[in-house]
């Protein structure tokens, strides 16, 4: 990293970052019964499109190189001194679940943007390019599986298969929704230019750090979720009169 003069004490502008989080949080804002403020921007809905447009506007305003790939992942890059080197990348997602928070995902994207704006403002050049991105359908609340955009990005799921996934709410095809909101991009996916490394800033999703008074933790992986659908078939019998020991009650079996 090449520092201008003696500027070694580089700080981001926390007020600017918080203002962007607030502004993005207004799109699809939901309010809980106890005054909670959250967000509902399910993947590839109109609200997701509006959120994307806002973040992309900020990226463009900073003069970043914008790339939208075939699954709708958006990556904005500030080139480094050596364009032949893979970039350092940060980012997250801006889609939410139906009752999502304002920080989940959004923080990782907007903090990355803040870092880039800080580098630009201070005129700090980097050897490698630095990129910030957001991945399509991280939550999986509308299109299964979750982390779909990043999965296709790394080649873990075929693009054609992902584009054919149907929405759980209205049955819409993912590829059609992507085109409808204008984010079926021209950049190939899986990626042909993987970053040198990737770091993501994320709010704590559980209560542990806060409970223990620890400010920050470092994770190297996430939990592996597997979904299983179970059908238990019982046998009907007259309610009330059939003793429990003689029942074949599926509700009872499912509970135990």
- The binding site for Zn ion (CB under 5 A) comprises 104-105
Q: Which is nearer to Zn ion, 134 or 183 (CB)?
A: 134
Give the CB-nearest residue to Zn ion.
Answer: 105
Give, in order, the Cα–Cα distances in Å from 246 to each of 58, 63, 236, 254, 255: 67, 73, 11, 17, 17
What is the smallest separation between the CB atom of 75 and Zn ion, expressed in angstroms?
17
Q: Which is nearer to Zn ion, 39 or 119 (CB)?
A: 39
- Closest C-alpha among 39, 34, 149, 150 to residue 103: 39
What is the smallest separation between the CB atom of 110 and Zn ion, expressed in angstroms?
13
What is the smallest separation between the CB atom of 89 and Zn ion, expressed in angstroms?
16
DSSP state of 224: P
What is the smallest separation between the CB atom of 164 and Zn ion, expressed in angstroms?
25
Rounded Cα distance, 183 and 51, in Å: 12
Distance of CA 71 to the CA centre of its chain: 13
Q: Which is nearer to Zn ion, 225 or 239 (CB)?
A: 225
Q: Which is nearer to Zn ion, 49 or 202 (CB)?
A: 202
Q: Kindly give, in sequence order, each residue whose CB lies less than 8 Å from that of residue 53, ignoring residues fewer than 6 positions away.
A: none
């Amino acid at each position: 990293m090449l520092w201008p003069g003696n500027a070694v004490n580089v700080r981001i502008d926390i007020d600017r970052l918080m203002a962007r989080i607030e502004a993005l949080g207004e799109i699809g804002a939901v309010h809980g019964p106890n005054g909670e403020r959250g967000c509902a921007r399910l993947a590839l809905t109109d609200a997701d499109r509006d959120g994307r447009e806002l973040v992309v506007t900020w990226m463009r305003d900073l003069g970043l190189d914008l790339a939208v790939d075939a699954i709708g992942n958006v990556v904005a890059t500030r080139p480094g001194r050596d364009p032949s080197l893979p970039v350092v990348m940060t980012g997250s997602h801006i889609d939410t679940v139906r009752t999502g928070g304002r920080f989940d995902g959004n923080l990782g994207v907007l903090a990355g943007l803040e870092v880039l704006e800080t580098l630009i403002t201070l005129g700090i050049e980097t050897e490698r390019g630095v990129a910030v991105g957001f991945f399509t359908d991280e939550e999986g609340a509308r299109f299964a599986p979750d982390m779909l955009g990043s999965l296709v990005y790394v080649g873990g799921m075929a693009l054609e298969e992902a584009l054919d996934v149907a929405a759980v709410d209205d049955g819409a095809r993912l590829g059609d929704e992507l085109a409808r909101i204008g984010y079926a991009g021209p950049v190939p996916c899986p990626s042909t230019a993987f970053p040198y490394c990737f770091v993501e800033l994320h709010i704590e999703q559980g209560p542990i750090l806060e409970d223990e008074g620890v400010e920050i933790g470092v994770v190297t992986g996430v939990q592996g979720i597997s979904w299983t659908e179970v059908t238990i078939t019982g046998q009907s019998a007259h309610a009330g009169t059939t003793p429990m020991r003689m029942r074949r009650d599926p509700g009872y079996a499912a509970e135990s």
